Structure 1
Amino acid sequence: MVGVRTHAVGPARAGDRQVQRDGGDSPAWSRKRGPYRPVPLDPARVASRAGAAVVPYAELHAHSHYSFLDGASSPEKMVEEAVRLGLHALALTDHDGFYGIVRMAEAAEAYELKTVFGAELSLGLSKPQQGEADPEGDHLLVLARQEEGYHRLAGAMTSAHLAADAEKGHPIYDLDELAHSLRNHCLVLTGCRKGSVRRALMSDGEQAAAFEVDGLIERFGRENVVVELFDHGNPSTAATTMPSSGLPSARAYLSSPATPYIMRPRRDIRWQRPWRRSGHAAAWRSWTGGCPQAAAPICGAVPRW
């Protein structure tokens, strides 16, 4: 359990049964949520963010349990684990909303962890997606730049949820309208396996992926588009992230086995616990200037503008 909450605990009645309150802050137990209280972290287990050998690292693609059937950890837990692992910043990018950012901001303030607010937008949905283990649609990851970017991204998601034919679990976005509103105020990442760039690369090859990148650049601007790179340490990585020529990358975002939150075969944060294997721990410790050793071939494989 994260912190200490200021609401009732103990047994409650549900019909003829005794139900033990779990101390959570869901409406089932309380209509109020107490302030976040940081959990003391063992200094011996907290990685340092300082020192010449430390490469600053911010995780930019992370889902909390507010992304149902996708993320599994609370925003507070994610912050605690990010601090323990010595991350310099953490972005929260739940699906189509800012559901967890208040909790994240409270926890991050307590630990002095820098934050980025964003969301993974679900484009091209044909029906509501609640309860779908593998929802349809294309994903576009958007990170807010400063306060204005936050307001614009929040407004874009609100408009999508309130569109004429939209319903719960079925926001409706217009990519051109998004570009008009968010350009120069938000950073756009090409996303996971459901991003248009990755899908094109896997299905039709490098030229198709480059075409999708060019489309994003045309809409959002060259300085506002980032191609996500990753490395799972398996043979399929080379086929999907290390093209031999031509695929541009504005900046290299990397999610590798060194990323503490990753659990194979996923490539972005969905669990707050590290995968406990010595190989992963060694990869995390081996970070040196620019890129982790395990990822050095990828960082050099894609040309930058």
Structure 2
Amino acid sequence: MGWSNPELPWSELERLLSGRPRDGASLSGGSQTGDGGDSPAWSRKREPYEPPELQRPPAEVAYAELHCHSNFSFLDGASHPEELVEQAARLGLEAVALTDHDGMYGVVRFAEAARELGVRTVYGAELSLGLTVPQNGIPDPEGTHLLLLARGTEGYRRLCHTISTAQLRGREKGKPVYDLAEVAADTAGHVLVLTGCRKGAVRQALQRGGPPAAARELAHLGELFGPENVAVELTDHALPADTERN
């Protein structure tokens, strides 16, 4: 380790400082047991992904789910990234996107499962604009949402850079600080913008001022990102107002 330090591997030093027993032993001298998952209390590495046996039906209608949260979006998504891919395969979807809030937390698991199951993937994120306080654990967080889907590896790189910059600027966990003009300058031409959920700027404008206000907000996104890079997102949850709103 250099200098006057003892001949001790870093892993062993970390184990001693953490008060953990050696592998295969417990503090009481018995065998160590654990769930074998990715909990840091038991293992430094996840086990390789093992795909379940499932039948993928032929797609009757070409469809890709482009707005989907995993359980890395706390209180919004409920399924592991792998489970989203598995369900996409069961449904015969053409592709599925992972768009967690303000991060790419689940993309490795998502990609591993998709590779094994032959499901095409899209990578993106839903950015939280205009936050004033951290939103950790808040069921209905504040802010305006903007969903970006990366176009290729360059789009992925730019989107990751944009998110990292905002997270560092916020200086608190759960409070990224974005500047919309800066986001557009960094990513325009390399992402596809979806107008988002009920917290998207277009939907919020529609709620406040009707179709004219929504059209103005949509035009603003087109000016920032280019009209060819903006798509209106329609959602139908079988609610009474869905048809009229869409």
2:126 aligns to what?
Answer: 120
Is there any run of 5+ residues in structure 2 with no aligned partner, and where? Answer: 1-24
Post-superposition CA distance 1:109-158 (Å, at most 9, x none): 00111000000000000010001011110000000000100000000000
1:47 aligns to what?
Answer: 57
**1:27 maps to 2:37:** no
2:197 aligns to what?
Answer: 192
Q: Could you tell me which amino acid in structure 1 is paired with residue 164 of structure 2?
A: T
Which of these residues, 228, 236, 246, is aligned with residue 231 of structure 1? Answer: 236
**1:57 maps to 2:63:** yes
Secondary structure of 1:27 counterpart: coil
Find the aligned partners of 1:158 and 1:188 in 2 and give their Cα distance: 19
2:210 aligns to what?
Answer: 205
Question: What pairs up with 1:1-305 in 2 under 5 angstroms?
Answer: 21-41=34-54, 43=55, 46-49=56-59, 54-163=60-169, 165-241=170-246
Aligned-pair CA distance for 1:233:
2.8
Post-superposition CA distance 1:218-261 (Å, at most 9, x none): 000011000001222332113322xxxxxxxxxxxxxxxxxxxx
Do the aligned residues in 1 keep the contact of 2:36 with 2:43 (CA within 8 Å)?
no
Structure with the largest fraction of helix = 2
Which is bigger in relative contact order (C-alpha 8 A, separation at least 6)?
A: 1
Q: 1:78 to 1:14 in 2, by over 3 A?
A: farther
Find the aligned partners of 1:181 and 1:96 in 2 and give their Cα distance: 16
Q: Could you tell me which amino acid in structure 2 is paired with residue 92 of structure 1?
A: L
Aligned-pair CA distance for 1:210:
0.4
Post-superposition CA distance 1:157-190 (Å, at most 9, x none): 0000111x43110000000000001110000000
Aligned-pair CA distance for 1:23:
3.4
Secondary structure of 1:162 counterpart: helix
Q: Could you tell me which amino acid in structure 2 is paired with residue 177 of structure 1?
A: E
Q: Could you tell me which amino acid in structure 2 is paired with residue 222 of structure 1?
A: P
Q: Could you tell me which amino acid in structure 2 is paired with residue 141 of structure 1?
A: L
Q: Could you tell me which amino acid in structure 1 is paired with residue 53 of structure 2?
A: P
2:7 aligns to what?
Answer: none
Q: 1:139 to 1:13 in 2, by over 3 A?
A: farther
Aligned-pair CA distance for 1:24:
2.4
Aligned-pair CA distance for 1:63:
0.1
TM normalised by structure 1 equals 0.69
Post-superposition CA distance 1:59-105 (Å, at most 9, x none): 00000000011101000011011001100100000000000001000
Aligned-pair CA distance for 1:20:
7.2
Find the aligned partners of 1:27 and 1:146 in 2 and give their Cα distance: 32
Q: What is the aligned residue count?
A: 221
Aligned-pair CA distance for 1:14:
9.8
Identity of aligned residues (%): 58
Q: Could you tell me which amino acid in structure 1 is paired with residue 45 of structure 2?
A: K
Is there any run of 5+ residues in structure 1 with no aligned partner, and where? Answer: 1-11, 242-305
Q: Could you tell me which amino acid in structure 2 is paired with residue 129 of structure 1?
A: Q
Secondary structure of 1:129 counterpart: coil
Find the aligned partners of 2:118 and 2:38 in 1 and give their Cα distance: 24
